[in-house]
Chains A and B, each alone.
Chain A
Amino acid sequence: MSDLMKDLHTEHMVINMGPSHPVTHGTVKFLVTLDGENIVDMKVDIGYLHRGFEKMCESGTWQQVIPYTDRLNYVSPLINNVGYALAVEKLIGIEVPERCQYLRVIACELSRIADHLTNVAAGGLELGAFTAFLYFVEARELVWDLIEMLCGARVTVNFVRIGGLKNDLPQGFQDKTRAVFKECRRLWNDVDKLLTKNRIFIDRVRNVGDISAEEAIAYGFTGPCLRACGIPYDVRKAQPYLVYDRMDFEVPIGETGDNFDKYLVRMEEIQQSMKIVEQALSQLPDGPINLDLPQYRMQPKEDIYHRIDSLIFHFKTVIDGIKPPPGEVYFAVEGANGELGFYLVSDGSGKPYKCRVRPPCFPLTAAMPRLMKGRLIADIVPTFDMINMIGGECDR
């Protein structure tokens, strides 16, 4: 047999997957060198969705950045909103009222649920589990109904403001959440039954895309992909922001870091996030949601129409933008894919001097060649899905 293998010398073949390929659900190009079906070498080419995020931020005011952050990780826009707002608040040195903090936690976790649902749905779809896709898209649709109720938009929410929120909780939100989560849990159970013990699914994902914890750290993995390697690093626990320290939730971890563990971690995080939302809703205190600092946060609309000082502040903050003191800050939140950090530099003017986002899936995508070398070409599909590269965030 080995003689036969020696005589059968095959040439390497280079094929191009993407940038418009069904499994590259962001736009990314893989240049794969194949020996038969085995991957000898792989190059990843990104940047097909580079939209000049930083340049756009530098050309607008501080508040005008928020819509752009929505479109970074467009599967969990609320987390981006919150991360950016928290970074600016750290730069200014203010803290939002307690009720606002709770509402932000709720918003973040709803987004995280939607993100993980989408990720697992797409993963199932690409491995042929179309039913799981349909179930989770339905569940996501329900979560989006909640998000829409909360902020009026489904995807690009633009909900969080520097120093507050766009609006308070709408009436009936609690009841609706209860109903939605009940339904979500039912769908979750269905998908769990469909995938977690499914021979075909397990064969495709088990022991594929595994990486040791040390290597994962060296590559800069964070989020579910790092936790799947057994490192319980979660920004929400390590450096609690907002009111996460008052929430009772677990950080699920895996063992081998393979795709199956990543899938399990995500599935469990959906449950944990639902738990957090329920806790936050039950603990929700009364009070204002906006800071009373007119030079940073717009006054209520009634005041703007009826009081001259509010009107002047409104005019100033809209035309010139708010003016954080000069300085630089880095603030990290736990995004759906890992540590989402904002590095802001202010020169004291109304525009950000520098608005850098640390995209969690950028180092993850960079590790694709490492994860895939020596593997079969079919393994790209589940691995790339569980990496969950989001074009808007990776390429900005």
Chain B
Amino acid sequence: METNVTIKKLSNRFPGAIIETHSHRGDDTAVVKKESILEICTFLRDDEALLYNFMMDLTVVDYLGREPRFEVVYHLFSLRHNRRVRIKARVSEADAIIDSIVPVWVGANWFEREAFDMYGITFKGHPEMRRILLYEGFEGHPLRKDYPIKKRQPLIGPIN
């Protein structure tokens, strides 16, 4: 099947690093071990049959109560083959570190900073790991499921 090319190639090349795959609603997805994320991304970008030259999106999903708790989700797109793939890597709360993919796609820089800001995942090897949308001094990571939606941390407020 044409649509499964990526997943097939990935599982042939990295048999030990693919945890599971699915193609729900036609979106090819591979869950990979977080240790090999950099290697896999480089492969996906450079392999002639894949050529995923766009890092479209990077985000994190917080599955509170599940272990490992976080899933870092990458959406890649190949202009040449007009194909998309979703790569996911699971990261636990205690060890919320994953390799940065900035060496592969420079565009990932801000996306990773945002993921750090919102979910507190640290990207190892990132050139500038600090908050991007919120401000220094903000405590906690608002998009985690256990952050109360109305917990405010104003920089400035009324005298009382």
A and B touch in the complex (CB under 8 A): yes
Q: Kindly state whether residue B143 has any CB partner on chain A within 8 Å.
A: yes
Question: Distance (Å) between the CB of B11 and the closest chain A CB?
Answer: 20
Report how far A222 CA is from B84 CA in the complex, Å: 15
Report how far A339 CA is from B114 CA in the complex, Å: 19
Chain B interface main SS type: mixed
Question: Distance (Å) between the CB of A238 and the closest chain B CB?
Answer: 5
Report how far A345 CA is from B134 CA in the complex, Å: 24
Query: Inside 8 A of A217's CB, which chain B residues have their CB?
Result: 53-54, 79
- Given A47-B135, A52-B142, CB of A362 within 8 Å of CB of B27: no
Question: Distance (Å) between the CB of A149 and the closest chain B CB?
Answer: 35
Can you list the 3 inter-chain pairs with the closest CB atoms, starting with the nearest? Answer: A220-B107, A47-B133, A358-B57
Given A93-B25, A362-B110, 14 more contacts at CB 8 Å?
A46-B132, A47-B133, A50-B134, A55-B143, A56-B149, A220-B105, A327-B24, A327-B25, A330-B27, A330-B84, A332-B56, A358-B56, A366-B109, A366-B110
Residues of A near any B CB (own CB < 8 A): 46-47, 50, 52, 54-56, 59, 90-91, 93, 217-220, 222, 231, 233, 238-239, 327-330, 332, 339, 341, 343, 345, 353-354, 356, 358, 362-363, 365-367, 395-396
Number of interface residues of B (CB under 8 A): 37
Query: Inside 8 A of A219's CB, which chain B residues have their CB?
Result: 106-107
Identify which of B27, B84, B149 contacts A328 (C-beta below 8 A). B27
Query: Inside 8 A of A52's CB, which chain B residues have their CB?
Result: 142, 149
Chain A interface main SS type: mixed
Report how far A395 CA is from B113 CA in the complex, Å: 12
A47 lies within 8 A of B149 (CB): no
Question: Distance (Å) between the CB of B71 and the closest chain A CB?
Answer: 9
Name the residue of chain B whose CB is nearest to the CB of A347: B63
A220 lies within 8 A of B54 (CB): yes
